[in-house]
Amino acid sequence: MSPEPIDTIRMQIARQVAHWVMAAQRLGSLDDLASPSAWEGLERYVGVVLRQNLLTAVNQLHQQAKFLQAQWNVAETIEDFKRVQHQLVRFRKRYLRTEVLLDFYADAINTRTNPTISALLRACDSLCQQSMTPLLQPFGKSTPPVLTYLDQGLGASILKAGLRLWDGKTESAVAAIKIVRHNLYRPTALIHESGHQIAHILGWNQELAAILERELSTHSSELAEIWASWSSEIAADAIAFVHTGYAAVATLHDVLAGGDSFVFNFIPGDPHPTSYIRVLLGVEMCRQFFGTGSWDELSDSWSRSHLLERANSTVRAVLQESLPLLPKVSKLVLSTPMRAFGGRKLVNLVDPQNVRPSTLLKLEYQLGSALYTSHHWVEAEAVRLLALSGYKAATLPEQSLEILQQQRDWMVRLGSSLQAA
């Protein structure tokens, strides 16, 4: 085969270099990503941090584009052009990963084009930040900015601040948390996702996994290993519980209440506990801190709706062995001093008694309508309002439309007070 003519290879590479360098330049306009109203829907500080984060990713891409262009400019031999071609392939991959990064945030920001949805999501941002600060501030850790966004599906999710993004270079400066449409007025899942961010920053997941494996190994080393593998989700559930009490457990129940195949699904290595035992662990947390209550009825209904004998033999054995351990697991998670918490217990930092149902109802009785209409009280008690509304929605289903409308109204009020300047 005859050698490829240098003019031919130069032309093919020149066209591609020009195309991809220009494509990278076009990514620099962040205003093209989302509508002006969507950008305005962000709280000002979050918008500033996010813009800077995205510009960092784009600027890094531009630097690689300049390097690619410089290599092209000095290429003379076939070997030079082959090296440029190799760099071009790498650049294309980097460009596409950066595009994925920008598209993710563009989609998230563009969920705020409607003024009411924008206000609701700013309220969600605030709820997340208020739940993180009490657990991060005592240890000199900054609460990351939060961008919540609306999407489909059953459950929430988080892209944690501090993680590498798709381009492999940029670190996320904002915690991006998905709230699903059906739970927008019952968003206790936000606090679960904030819990993932807290545990990540403080390094709690690894410590909790080690404690669960050590303390449960006296019962069964295999079972201890399984519970340890669930530590990250258990940690997030615990943080949601101390902040929002029974509301978190009831909402989790409603998300997980599928058919038996879903409730008894067990995948080794999956960080999510089997739904059957996960709900009952939440009930046990309520029992330990609140005594008897509506959670007992939920537990009874859950166990009757999903009879253990309908699980396959392997899963049934794991769950049957786990049931007597729930009180111990709950105490290990909530009431054991942790290095991550400076030698204190989780409940020392956020006292679940503050969201005990009787305490929440007393708060509502004392403040009356002002609790829901006063900007001061809505902002100061936002997380407890979430716990109260969630508790009432769970225990007064015949009033659910009125309760959820009230929840929507105070969230809009909170979000409107945080409107970007």
pLDDT of residue 113: 92
Question: Which DSSP symbol is given to 337?
Answer: -
Would residue 60 count as lying in a domain?
A: yes
For residue 74, the enclosing domain spans 6-112
pLDDT digits (tens, 9 = 90+) for 186-241: 999 999 999 999 999 999 999 999 999 999 999 999 999 999 999 999 999 999 99
Would residue 68 count as lying in a domain?
A: yes
Q: Is 149 helix (H, G, I), strand (E, B) or coil?
A: strand
Mutual angle of helices 231-244 and 382-395, in 10-degree steps: 90
- Whether the CB-CB separation of 57 and 23 falls below 8 Å is answered with no
Q: Over the chain, what is the mean pLDDT?
A: 94
pTM summary value: 0.93
In sequence order, what DSSP letters do the residues of 174-217 get, joined into one string? SEEEEEEGGGTTSTTHHHHHHHHHHHHHHTHHHHHHHHHHHHHT
pLDDT bin (cut points 50, 70, 90) of residue 421 is very low
pLDDT digits (tens, 9 = 90+) for 279-294: 999 999 999 999 999 9
Would residue 83 count as lying in a domain?
A: yes
pLDDT digits (tens, 9 = 90+) for 59-104: 999 999 999 999 988 988 888 888 999 999 999 999 999 999 999 9
Would residue 55 count as lying in a domain?
A: yes
Q: Is the pLDDT assigned to residue 2 strictly greater than 70?
A: no
What count of residues does the chain have? 421
Of 64, 81, 112, at which residue does a domain stop? 112
- Whether the CB-CB separation of 125 and 190 falls below 8 Å is answered with no
Phi (first) and psi of residue 266, to 5 degrees: -135, 120
pLDDT bin (cut points 50, 70, 90) of residue 7 is confident
Would residue 235 count as lying in a domain?
A: no
List all residues 6 or more positions away from 261 whose beta carbon is below 8 Å from its beta carbon: none
Q: Taking the C-alpha atoms of 118, 105, 251 and 122 in order, what is their torsion angle to the nearest 10 degrees?
A: -30
Sheet of 175-180: strand order equals 146-151, 175-180, 157-159
Of 112, 147, 164, at which residue does a domain stop? 112
Of 112, 141, 173, at which residue does a domain stop? 112
The mean per-residue pLDDT over the stretch 334-351 comes to 98
Would residue 193 count as lying in a domain?
A: no
What is the number of domains present in the chain? 2
Would residue 130 count as lying in a domain?
A: no
pLDDT of residue 29: 82
Q: Is 166 helix (H, G, I), strand (E, B) or coil?
A: coil
